[in-house]
Structure 1
Amino acid sequence: MEFTRRLSRLWRHRDFRLLTLVRCFGQSGDGTAQVGMASYLLFSPQSQTSAWAVAGVLALTTLPYSLIGPFLAVFLDRFSRQRISILVDSVRILCSLVLVLLIGGHHTSGASQVVLTFMLLIMLSLNRFTLAGLQAGLARTVSDDEYLDANSIMPMIGPLGLIVGGGSAGAIRLLVGGRAGVDTANALIFVLAAVLFCCSALTCTRIPRTALGPAPGEHHKTMTEVANGLVMALRHLASRRPAWLALSVQSVVRIGYGMLMAMVIVVYRHYLTPSGNLTAALAGIGLWFLVSGIGFALSGIVAAPLGHRLGVRHCIIVLLVVMALSQAIPGSIFWVPTLVLNGFVMGLIGQSVKIQVDTVVVAHIDDAYKGRVFTIYDAIYNLSTVLGAVIAALLLPANGVSVPVTAGFGAVYLLAAVGFAAGSRALGNAVFDLGTRANPRRADSHGTQAG
């Protein structure tokens, strides 16, 4: 009932409704494309699945944008975020269709493979760019005291889209791959991705050009001005202590989830299905990601009430302790039910932490810097996930089974909770509640106190 009331309150905003649909269609397309990429790169008969392979795939699809994204972020603060979203979806449609032609035509070697990899890289990297723009524009679609509620609803819609898109793509791979061949199944997956990106672009055209911001201002046109804009955004972020403390917590959470993803993929591939049955391994991994995705989605129901009841600062601390316990106990038992249970808890609690962090960042960053800061945030998010997968590749054995590693990272979450509690104590609880009903004031007018 609480979730329904919050959604009903937000749903009265037309631009919020449309933004929700854009993210739902777009992230459904992302989920479809990600499963297509994993099917092609990790679960083809000729592929070798290892923690290093998982880290390589994550690096391929996230690091290029993570390195150049902050330099592109200034455009989110200078040009219409609505127009950028439409342009990005149009490019992703084109990339999807090229992948359909290459994979469906069995052109997956030599020069064709280079083109195919490049198309995957562009399509999945652009996902993070458009999400940063939509996140930056979210605050303009709701009232000042609705930041926490909006930040809890929107991350719920995203994972739901990923579940729908990824689940549909997984079904295509499992049902069509055995009959018509892996390449045909993968090509159909990217057809579905193109359709979903098209729906996202068409929905975004219904949002007014200026509704998502930024506020009218001068456009930066040279690389020097872009670099200066990035430096200004970093300085602004550094001056807002609550925001960078929250981002530090989010980095730890994503490192842990990156490690967990790599471990789960390798464990299912080489320990739980030792016969080498690709279909069984893919089905098991698909179930784990589905349950974890459901946890992500349900975070929208629990995160806001917890934030309102405990306060954002206390909520972050409690959630980190829960993650520590889950990773150290069920997460260290290499049995399907306990692995799936931990996947659900880590998805639910990890995304709940992100909702609190998003709320803090939105409330403490001036609108003129939001696009750049959220792209920097996104780069940190991606880099942390890849770092987690690299740590897994360095520490885990070939079959992925290591109780000391999994239990040890539970201890890291506990240390993060202690560190955040100590580092944020002097700021006080009220500072972290900016943008919630408990403290709806804009942080823009309280930057000195907040910083």
Structure 2
Amino acid sequence: MAHLSDLRTLLRLPGFRRLFATRLTSQCADGAFQVALASYVIFSPERLPSPAAIAGAFAVLLLPYSVVGPFAGVLLDRFSRRGVLVVCNLLRAAAMPAVIALVVADAPTWAFYTAALLVLAVNRFVLAGLSASLPRVVEPAILVTANAVSPTAGTIAATAGGGLALAVGLLLPTGAVTTGAVLITTALLYGCSALAAAGFRPGALGPGTEERLARAPVGRELAGTARGMLDGVRHLRERPRAGHALLAVVAMRFGYGLLTVTLLMLSRYTFNDPADPEAGMALLGVVVAASGAGFLLAALVTPYFAHRLGEGGWTVCCAAAGAVLVPALALPFRQDLAVAAALVLGMVTQGVKISTDTVVQRGVDDDYRGRVFSVYDVLFNASFVAAAAVAAAVLPPDGRSAVPVLVTAVLYAVTALAQALAARHPGSGPRLTIT
């Protein structure tokens, strides 16, 4: 009941409502855009992708724009976060016609990947800006509830956007027309997100010092990017609790990546006829919906358990539950159990992420928050790409292999043990190192 009261308090805050609307529209557009990419690259009748091809796609779409993370942090700590949210969403809306032209012209894969990369690279600035702005519109006492509601609702909005894209695919059976319609809808949603962010007064989302808002010459900015990244890592090293939480969410993300590639291959080749990509796409939609339900469940229960067990204790519970339940559901390689495994995986990974977001936001200084969340984003996405590469090395063409499932279970068990030890000895344990 206390958390329901916190939620009512959040929704009465005009700043939170506006930031919430910015997130929901932006991430809904992200979901639609990503499903359009999956449909075009993985589930089109003309393509029969291998695990290595899927891993390569993830590398093209995730790893390069993870490198943008340090730049996002420096910009967020120097420039208006409100301006970043407005301009980045407008840029993504403006890029959609170019992507549509490439689809209609059946352009080479590298050209399509390049356009998609530009759209998704900008997303780093938006997501980091949303996370760094949240403490500016929410009181510290209800920050954990805000972290449960806002990012999780954004993930659910992305799932809804993916569902919207799938629904459009059912209504418009021709490939190029379907993709074009989805991308037009995506552009409109990005425009709505920019409009919502524009409603904040200048400076409302921080940073809080005029010195950090000052624009330096381009060369100095580039040099400052590297120094800012190192400053963010050093800041994390001085706060081991935040560092331990960050390592936990990175480990959970690695397991999520392993099983994502596995489920993609199973949906395309094992659970359906490979000659019927529409059936594989429909099953993927069910899996994504199940994972989204897991995100929602995590949002509902994480505030309760985090307050009673602590964020670290709840992380231990989520990782341990994943270690036990994911292999039990995934190893039979049955379609219904795979959907249940997606629900469990969504819940435990999102539960850990909510806890980590709260620990990092509370544990770092406001002037460093943008850079720390950029470090967070780089590690979060790089771990997914690394997992996709591992999956490509161990998966057979049909995706039916116990290896990624068992590796994920062991990784989650080790994460639970490490976090339990870190909770007992908060000043010790694994630290982020500078190389």
TM-score normalised by structure 1 residue count: 0.90
Aligned counterpart in structure 1 of residue 184 of structure 2, from 182, 191, 197? 191
Partner of 2:24: 24
Matched-pair contact (CA < 8 Å) for 2:129–2:370: yes
Distance in 2 of aligned mates of 1:54 and 1:128: 21
SS in 2 for 1:319: helix
How much does 1:274 deviate?
Answer: 3.3
Aligned residue type for 1:426: H
Aligned residue type for 2:376: Y
Partner of 2:171: 175
Matched-pair contact (CA < 8 Å) for 1:82–1:210: yes
Aligned counterpart in structure 2 of residue 133 of structure 1, from 129, 133, 145? 129
Aligned counterpart in structure 2 of residue 209 of structure 1, from 202, 205, 216? 202
Matched-pair contact (CA < 8 Å) for 1:81–1:213: yes
Distance in 1 of aligned mates of 2:60 and 2:110: 13
Distance in 1 of aligned mates of 2:167 and 2:2: 34
Partner of 2:254: 255
Partner of 1:332: 331
Matches within 5 A, 1:100-249: 100-103=100-103, 106-110=104-108, 114-177=110-173, 181-218=174-211, 219=214, 221=216, 222=220, 223-249=222-248
Distance in 1 of aligned mates of 2:267 and 2:227: 46
| Runs of 4+ with deviation above 6 angstroms | none
RMSD: 1.5
Partner of 1:358: 357
Aligned residue type for 1:351: Q
Q: Deviations over 1:61-97 (max 9, x none)?
A: 1111112321332010011101001000011001112
Matched-pair contact (CA < 8 Å) for 1:39–1:173: no
Distance in 2 of aligned mates of 1:73 and 1:317: 29
Q: Deviations over 1:381-435 (max 9, x none)?
A: 111111111111111211111224313321221111111211331128xxxxxxx
User: Mind listing any 5+ residue stretches in structure 2 that lack a counterpart?
Assistant: 428-435
Q: Deviations over 1:139-198 (max 9, x none)?
A: 111112122111111122112211221100011123312xxx201111111001001001
Matched-pair contact (CA < 8 Å) for 2:82–2:204: yes
Matched-pair contact (CA < 8 Å) for 1:43–1:278: yes
Matched-pair contact (CA < 8 Å) for 1:250–1:354: yes
SS in 1 for 2:425: helix
Distance in 2 of aligned mates of 1:267 and 1:417: 28
Confirm whether residue 36 of structure 1 aligns to residue 36 of structure 2.
Answer: yes
Matched-pair contact (CA < 8 Å) for 2:45–2:276: no
| Larger mean Cα displacement after TM superposition, 319-328 or 400-409 | 400-409
| Larger mean Cα displacement after TM superposition, 194-203 or 404-413 | 404-413
User: Mind listing any 5+ residue stretches in structure 1 that lack a counterpart?
Assistant: 429-451
Matched-pair contact (CA < 8 Å) for 1:325–1:410: yes
TM-score normalised by structure 2 residue count: 0.93
Q: Deviations over 1:181-238 (max 9, x none)?
A: 2011111110010010011011111112211111123236212222222221111111
Aligned residue type for 1:20: F
Confirm whether residue 400 of structure 1 aligns to residue 393 of structure 2.
Answer: no
Confirm whether residue 76 of structure 1 aligns to residue 76 of structure 2.
Answer: yes
Distance in 1 of aligned mates of 2:274 and 2:345: 29
Distance in 2 of aligned mates of 1:297 and 1:85: 25
Matched-pair contact (CA < 8 Å) for 1:28–1:196: yes
| Larger mean Cα displacement after TM superposition, 355-364 or 126-135 | 126-135
Matched-pair contact (CA < 8 Å) for 1:160–1:293: yes
Paired-residue identity, %: 33
How much does 1:114 deviate?
Answer: 4.7
How much does 1:135 deviate?
Answer: 0.3
Matched-pair contact (CA < 8 Å) for 1:328–1:407: yes
